Amino acid sequence: MVRAAVLSAVNAPLRVTEIELPAPGPGQVRIKLAAAGVCHSDLSLSNGTLRQPAPAVLGHEGAGTVTAVGPDVTTVAPGDQVVLNWAPSCGDCHYCGLAEPWLCAGAGLAAGSPYATLADGTTALYPGLGTAAFAEETVVPAHAALPLPDGVPLADAALLGCAVLTGWGAVHHSARVRAGESVVVLGVGGVGLATLQAARIAGAGPIVAVDASPAKEELARAAGATEFLVADAAFFEKEGAKRIRGLTGGVGADVAIECVGRADTIRAAWSATRRGGRTTVVGIGGQEQQVTFSALELFYFGRTLSGCVYGNSDPARDLPVIAEHVRSGALDLSALVTERIGLDGIPAAFDAMLAGKGGRALVVF
């Protein structure tokens, strides 16, 4: 038996209870979690913005130690430290053939199959995004367990599984930020803080952070922001774009990266981007969030607007690079964490995200 935070139905409160995990089957591994980050995507799964069969154990940003492996597993062994990969690529689909593993057609298959039961053995549970990291232990497909590079603290390594790969990839793969380019980041949560650090490492400047909470200025500047703007009502009434132009030579940012997932912040990111610049949308919004553009402005501004899934990252390629920056001290994982909690603290962490507070809450087991 292991303790887990269980979502019984969409919009139901999480309940910490005991669950029964099976022994790993063919191609599976069992992992004892060291930590799990509380991501906005988990909130989106709990409220139905993203689809997830229930009852389920949420959590997809985690790291831990392999305790057992099933038949035919050769990539990891008991005792190995690993990072969970919530979007493991199959290597065989159309998108994998295009070297775009972040779009893999089979990445979400594990989330649709029961993986455990409640303690009484009568109720099947589904793994949130295929990983179920809000539990002391989990069972996942072997290709969802990535070996942790040396020199990265195990608990903080949980952040690599989503926030850091997403923020790093948004800067280096989607927006392709070059040294000396100006960057504006809208939303200073866990992903936004990782994006700011990645922009700093890329040599960007100025780096403008935007958030609704003035209390996040210190976090943003510590991560690499050279300027901080509060996204109040005036900001969204064209004042924000004007202020950003004032900080970027009068033309707007070379790159704007949106980490919120709302129509107004996406539109603000677009408006803050210079002619010919790049707007990258990282935030996940609901279907009701509609963004509009006029045909004339699309022609006149010549901007590029792109979505960004998991940072357009290939974890096998990117984790060793990111780990090197962690070891050198250029990337500070602990600076993304604003609170360390237990499983019981996840509902409060969800409330804090809804209120726009803090960076990343980390469940430490």
DSSP readout, 208-253? EEEES-GGGHHHHHHHT-SEEEE--HHIIIIIHHHHHHHHTTTS-E
If asked whether residues 340 and 225 sit together in one domain, one would say no
Instruction: State how far the Cα of 339 lies from the Cα of 35, in Å rounded to an integer.
Output: 12
CATH number of the domain residue 347 falls in: 3.90.180.10
Let me know if residue 231 belongs to a domain. Answer: yes
Mean pLDDT for 142-169 is 95
Does residue 194 share a domain with residue 105? no
Q: In this structure, are strands 124-127 and 81-84 parallel, antiparallel, or unpaired?
A: unpaired
| DSSP annotation string for 308-327 | -SGGG--HHHHHHHHHHHHH
* Residues 13 and 152 grouped into a single domain: yes
pLDDT in tens, 302-331: 999 999 999 999 998 999 999 999 999 999
What domain range includes position 125? 2-161+332-364
Mean pLDDT of 277-297: 93
pLDDT of residue 236: 87
- Band of the pLDDT at 197, cuts 50, 70, 90? very high
244 part of a folded domain: yes
Asked if the structure places residue 191 within a domain, the reply is yes
Number of other residues whose CB lies within 10 A of the CB of residue 203: 11
pLDDT at 31 (0 to 100): 98
Residue 326 belongs to a domain:
no
Report how far Cα 313 is from the mean position of its chain's Cα atoms: 11
Residues 121, 190, single domain; the answer is no
| 185 and 133 share one domain | no
- pLDDT on residue 357: 83
Within 10 angstroms of residue 249's Cβ, the number of other Cβ atoms is 11
Specify the pTM.
0.94
The pLDDT of residue 238 is above 90: no
Q: How far apart are CA 214 and CA 338, in angstroms?
A: 15
Name which of 141, 134, 150 is nearest 365 in CA terms: 134
Residue 167 phi, psi dihedral angles, 5° rounding? -65, -45
The pLDDT tens digits of the residues spanning 74-114 come to 999 999 999 999 999 999 999 999 999 999 999 888 889 99
Instruction: Indicate if 155 and 197 belong to the same structural domain.
Output: no
Question: Is residue 44 domain-shared with residue 170, that is, in the same domain?
Answer: no
- pLDDT tens by residue, 128-150: 999 999 999 999 999 999 999 99
Residues 267 and 221 in one domain: yes
Q: What is the CATH number of the domain that holds 181?
A: 3.40.50.720
Question: Are both 176 and 254 inside the same structural domain?
Answer: yes
Cβ-count burial 311-322 (b if 16+ within 10 Å, e if not)? bbbbbeebbeeb
Question: Is 176 part of a structural domain of the chain?
Answer: yes
Among 91, 20, 26, 27, residue whose Cα is nearest residue 57: 20
How many structural domains comprise the chain?
Answer: 2
pLDDT band (50, 70, 90) for residue 353: confident
Q: What pLDDT score was predicted for residue 191?
A: 95
Would 70 be classed as within a structural domain? yes
Q: What is the pLDDT of residues 201-237, one digit of tens each?
A: 999 999 999 999 999 999 999 999 999 999 998 888 8
> What is the identity of the amino acid at 356?
G
- Domain assignment present for 321: no
Both 147 and 181 in one domain: the answer is: no
Do 173 and 292 lie in one domain? The reply is yes
- Give CA–CA dist 343/14, Å, rounded: 10
Residues 227 and 92 in one domain: no
Q: Return the exposure string of 160-171: e unless at least 16 CB atoms fall within 10 Å of the residue's CB, then b.
A: bbbbbbbbbbbb
346 found inside a domain: yes
Tens-digit pLDDT profile for residues 241-255: 999 999 999 999 999
The pLDDT value given to residue 322 = 96
